[in-house]
Amino acid sequence: MATSNAPASEVRSTSTVPEWAFLALLLGLAVLAVALGQHPRRGLDFRVYLLAAERFLAGADLYPVSDGPMPFKYAPLTAPLFLPFTLLPARAAAALWNLGAVVALGALARLASRAEPAPRERAPWPWAPALATLALLPAFHLELFYAQVDGVMLLLLALAAVGAERGHTWGPAAAWALAVLLKPPAVLLALFLLARRHWRVLPASIGVGLLLAVPSVARYGFEGLWVQTQSWMETLARTTPPWALGHNPQGLPTLLLSLVWPADTEPTGSALTLAQGIALAIFAAVVLWSRAGAVELLALCCLGVTLLSPLAWRANFVMAWPLLRTTAEARTRGGLALLALAGLTGVLTSDTVLGAETARQVLLWRPYALVFTSLMLWTTWQSRRAANPNVSAVSPRLPQDFSRRPPATGH
């Protein structure tokens, strides 16, 4: 009996190695998160959020022009969301926020995992979460360096999608409403909800959004909130065009603009809007053509939140983690090559590797937009191919749905 049990034990032991590798990466990110959060000159974006919360508490203007190059760029309704962090010292609050982003990644990995494979399906490659994290380490470093919101965004979108798949309404609606407030491009999750026929979540999210407006209405009044909303839109209109064709932006709208406008110039507002519209049309057409299952569809929507934004830069590609994970899970040569290319892009655009000026010149080629658009096209093609019964009969596909759990009652 001992001999027959040995191979099973060995398999179980080997299968835990990828999990431990992923946990080790999370632990390393957690240490980095706290270290950068504690640093007085790091976490600049989060300090802007804290300042907005303090201004909200005082009933002051959230978008003064005097803020210069670091204004608050989020909707007025988001300012009170950061009020709990004002109770802590700024360094402790930034460290806690960063740590929350790492915890969110760990929760996302478990929450959005695939279902157990059916008899005609194959299991996902267990190394996928670790490899996706490894490929995005440069992006995670920048995310934690500035204490941005992408880690939290990923978890919110996953909570919305997975919750809707499990038959819930108000939980997913709340998560999606918060995500859209933090980053309006998160409205792209509507593609997931419509394709998967989660009709009730859409109106419920509007109801949640109205509830989230109550603190701002109470503080500023309806007229004052309208003034703040106008100031927010003016801030975006003032700050986005000068940024759009610099070396940092890496979204698809910037890539499209680069075909017509020279680098480091300022496009017109109409050109920027047109580029965003074309990018959105391309993305929606490709995603709908793909016939992707729930897992891939969520991954594509998460990427789209960053890829379709004219403000997207290297740190924001943390949002591509679900897509890199699904790519690695399939363990195809083309997919793994693109995964390696994504990791290489992060390394080769780092100031410490190439030097600031060389890295700047490389970034002007929009390598992130090119690589992650390629990943999007690869995923949609693979999804379309896997949906073909003739192909799936020869080559077993991965489970298309999220991990199954007993449905909750009362929803």
Instruction: Report if residue 226 sits inside a domain.
Output: yes
Q: Is residue 397 part of a domain?
A: no
In a domain, 80, yes or no: yes
- For 4, the enclosing helix (H) or strand (E) is helix 2-38
pLDDT in tens, 222-271: 999 999 999 999 999 999 999 999 999 999 999 999 999 999 899 998 99
Q: Name the residue among 249, 241, 383, 410 with its Cα closest to residue 323.
A: 383
Residue 137, CA distances (Å) to 37, 144, 288, 320, 321 in order: 17, 10, 30, 12, 10
For residue 409, being part of any structural domain is answered with no
pLDDT tens digits in sequence order for the chain, 411 residues long? 333 444 444 434 456 899 999 999 999 999 999 999 988 778 889 999 999 999 999 999 999 998 888 899 999 999 999 999 999 999 999 999 999 999 999 999 999 998 888 888 889 999 999 999 999 999 999 999 999 999 999 999 999 999 999 999 999 999 999 999 999 999 999 999 999 999 999 999 999 999 999 999 999 999 999 999 999 999 999 999 999 999 999 999 999 999 999 998 999 989 999 999 999 999 999 999 999 999 999 999 999 999 999 999 999 999 999 999 999 999 999 999 999 999 999 999 988 888 889 999 999 999 999 999 999 999 999 998 887 776 555 567 888 888 875 444 334
Q: Specify if 337 maps to a domain.
A: yes
Residue with tokens 């594509």: 300
The 10 Å Cβ neighbour count of residue 54 is 14
Residue 383 domain-assigned? Answer: yes
Tell me if 48 is assigned to some domain: yes
Q: Domain range for residue 302?
A: 17-388
Q: Report the 10 Å Cβ neighbour count for 202.
A: 15
DSSP summary character for residue 349: T
How many domains does one find in the chain?
1
**What is the rounded distance in angstroms from the CA atom of residue 45 to the CA atom of residue 379?**
32
Within a domain: 373 = yes
CB 75 within 8 A of CB 229: yes
